[in-house]
Chain A
Amino acid sequence: MILQALYDYAQRKGDALPEDGFEDVEIKYLIKIREDGSLIDLISTIEDKKGHVYSKVPMRVARSGKTPKASLLLDNVGYILLDDLKRETFINLIENLPVELKSTREIQAVIAFYRTNKANGFDKISFCELWEECRKTTGYLSFIIDGEDEIVPQLAAVREYQRNITAAKTEGGEDNESDEIINSVCLITGEKSVISRIHSATSIIGAKSNAKLVGFQKNSGYDSYGKEQSYNAPVSIKAEAAYTKALNYLIKSKENRFRLGEDTIVFWAEKKEAEAFESSFSAFFATDFDDPDRNVREVKNLFSTINTGKLESIDSNFYVLCLSPNAARISVRFWETGKVETFAKRIKQHFDDFEIIRPSFDEKEYLTLYQILSAMALEHKIENVAPNLTGFVTQSILKGLPYPTTLQQQCIRRIRAEQNVTRERAAILKAYINRLNRQKNIKEVSVALDRTNTNKGYLLGRLFAAFEKVQQDTHPNLNATITDRFYGAASTNPVTVFTQLMRLNRHHLSSYENNGLKVIREKEIGEIMNAIDSFPAHLDLNEQSYFAIGYYHEKQSFFEKSEKNEGVN
């Protein structure tokens, strides 16, 4: 299913994907040489820790096992400079090029660097300024001739050659490794054709650079029926090229992927009509650092398109694939398919669930995943959140399932640790409870204060907020309010502290100078107390969530009132 969808995507995109046999590679160092092969210098293209990405260079070869296999005209330090055996392989590859290509001055210069003009070329490399740094790098190196702008692999003649050999390979020509040509049914296309032995790398961040989606190490228990490596999963060379190209394109693109903790999530649409949705998809989940307002815009856009019913007419499937790195392998975390409309509705549901009343200074209309998750982390650092929680939350959103229980637990833990219910935390708890309640057909928690809600936890939270307000009114400059002292106990074992809080409250009420305000507060407290018949001994996690939401709602309602008053005044 997954490979099939990628293959179809490659067919749909056609030329927009990089040409077969070419790719864009990040090259960190360039060996600058003259036409006669003598060395000028070793230059670095690194800016901001990343090398320059050179487009449309011959594709690097897929390496596996111990036999050295060099890529054409660009490779890592071992192949170009350090390791003798590997270097010989590299030079031999160049020396075995067809005469027309070999006789060009650029290729001659490279050969001279290694052979004829070795004294001035290769031997002088260790005297270069950047030599020490370059030796240790894991990046790629290539050559550039003095006076040229393009590096040697970008030469037109080199590209032509690469095109020719790629075409020959896909028609079942001899593989460099001269292993047998196996004909079998391809599991993507269903046709009988030549099967590829190794699949190309489709690396994601966090995995090694040769990480593959489909790969079988020899002698590690992955081989079956006497088949080795990728003969275990027959995919024709043509289909393999197509799906790896598509997957690499998606992984490297900015628009079709976003990162979530360790995982990379790629997504694409089956048909062209859904491309508008495709381009706005990442905005729902990740923050775009170039354009921070994009989130809000896209969400608003989404809401309006759902309301107008435009999405129903798009009869295209939409695919979301979450990949997780595991050393040199890539595992599939989850895979979702569905119609565009289904995904749009589920995303809208997510934002609706997280809707909660907010103070006027908080301008964020919609919360991004990053904001939600960091609200639950120690010191608001996302590294402190459990790595699979991000995956689970995204899955809940995309599948329309209840949020993970860990979300609620983490949130309540944070609230108790910091004695502070922020907007994000209240929103998380509200969303969690509502999704649960929806399944059981229980009334949902509202966005703002709901005076008719009779849930015990909710009422107690409201009462607690009211008590805190009274204390703040009468004692404005306290270091520690009742929230700091009693929140934990009040939300878990109300019966132990509420009597004490009521006593304190009476005491605070008597300190009011403004009688009008005192009456308002008393009325509020009286209204809440009417609905409570007794203080329970324990509140379970769900009721603690209600407590937090009630507390937050009541607090916000005080701000509103005071703002209204100030407005009037």
Chain B
Amino acid sequence: MREFFDKMFCLEVWGDYACFTRPEMKVERVSYDVITPSAARAIFEAIFWKPAFYWKIKKIEVLNPIKWMNLRRNEVGAVANDKSSGIYIEDNRQQRAGLFLKDVKYRIYADLVFIPPKQRKETINPLPEYLIDTEEKIDLTERELTDEHQNENPAKYNAMFERRAKKGQCFFQPYFGCREFSCFFKLVDPEKEHSTPIPETRDLGFMLYDMDYSNPDDIRPAFFRAKMENGVINVPDWESEEVRK
């Protein structure tokens, strides 16, 4: 395995509306004041993601002043299920109001953290038992890591991401919290293009950091105390004390 370091990338993202929904006011949506680390991670993942690495959000800069708007929408009050015969929207109509952000613009900084092959999560085989060839299964599990894996160069992921971000490629359109609030992105080099975050310093209270997926049966939220200093929020490490799980 070659030596590698985690490269930091900076994306400038902007959009007309945003809703980083607070978990407690999920029904009548109220947004957080700024983008959550999990939403920022989702924007990076929309551009490029593979099980070989994960995105670690380091810093968020708020470039536009925080503006709010109120909107009441017609929504559907049921979850679609592939076993059911569909939902009649007119029977499940609900009106829900929401307090959203307007004219948002951020710079989000994230590290692309490579996961060595041995530490990667086991992928669950979706095939039913009777279709799995036992000999092949034994062969695959006992095989040593191939040369291919031995020489895996983590820098290739950095290059792939850069290429995609520069071209504007993404797997799905990135969004600000809710799918309907799509956002635009641009890869920037913070050394060359300076930005001026808003001159506000505030304590934003406990914000959702991300969800803890370590136990798939019981997925839990993790919170951290977000402090905005002159428009910059430094996001603590997942492992650190500051992230309450």
Contacts and interface: CB of A to CB of B under 8 A. Distances in A.
Contact of B220 (A184, A222, A330, A335): A184
A12 interface: no
A70 interface: no
A226 interface: yes
B204 interface: yes
Contacts of B97: 324, 326, 331, 333
B144 interface: no
A232 B78 CA distance: 16
Contact of A216 (B27, B95, B96): B27
A166 to B, nearest CB: 23
Interface of B is mostly: strand
A331 B96 contact: yes
Contacts, number: 93
Contacts of B94: 220
Contacts of A213: 25
B221 A190 contact: no
A42 interface: no
A220 B97 CA distance: 16
A1 interface: yes
22 contacts: A1-B32, A2-B30, A4-B206, A184-B220, A185-B220, A185-B245, A187-B208, A188-B206, A221-B77, A223-B79, A226-B218, A232-B23, A233-B22, A233-B25, A235-B24, A324-B97, A326-B95, A329-B28, A332-B25, A332-B28, A335-B30, A388-B70
B70 to A, nearest CB: 6
A153 interface: no
A3 interface: yes
Interface in A182-210: 184-185, 187-188, 190-192
A511 to B, nearest CB: 57
A559 interface: no
Interface in B208-230: 208, 211, 217-223, 225
Contacts of A217: 27
B99 interface: yes
Contact of B26 (A3, A216, A219): A216
A222 B26 contact: yes
A101 B96 CA distance: 46
A330 B23 CA distance: 15
A127 interface: no
B181 interface: no
B26 A232 contact: yes
A302 interface: no
Contacts of B218: 226
Contacts of A332: 25, 28, 30, 99
7 nearest CB pairs, A to B: A331-B28, A233-B24, A331-B97, A233-B23, A4-B205, A225-B219, A185-B244
A484 to B, nearest CB: 40
B206 A187 contact: yes
A214 interface: yes
A271 to B, nearest CB: 14
Contacts of A1: 32-33, 204-205
Given A4-B205, A187-B206, A221-B79, A214 B219 contact: no
Contacts of B211: 225
A326 B28 contact: yes
Contacts of A187: 23-24, 206, 208, 221, 223
Contacts of A335: 30, 68, 99
A235 B245 CA distance: 13
A215 interface: yes
Interface residues of A, number: 39
A333 B68 CA distance: 10
Contacts of A326: 28, 95-97
Q: Of B77, B98, B208, B211, which is in contact with the most chain A CB atoms at under 10 Å from its CB?
A: B77
A126 B228 CA distance: 65
Interface in B89-145: 94-99
B76 interface: yes
Contacts of A550: none
A234 interface: yes
B205 A333 contact: no
B244 A333 contact: no
A235 B78 CA distance: 25
A552 B218 CA distance: 68
Interface in A342-384: none
Given A1-B33, A2-B30, A221-B78, A333 B24 contact: no
A334 interface: yes
Nearest to B68: A334
Contact of B225 (A3, A190, A222, A388): A190
Interface in B1-40: 22-28, 30, 32-33
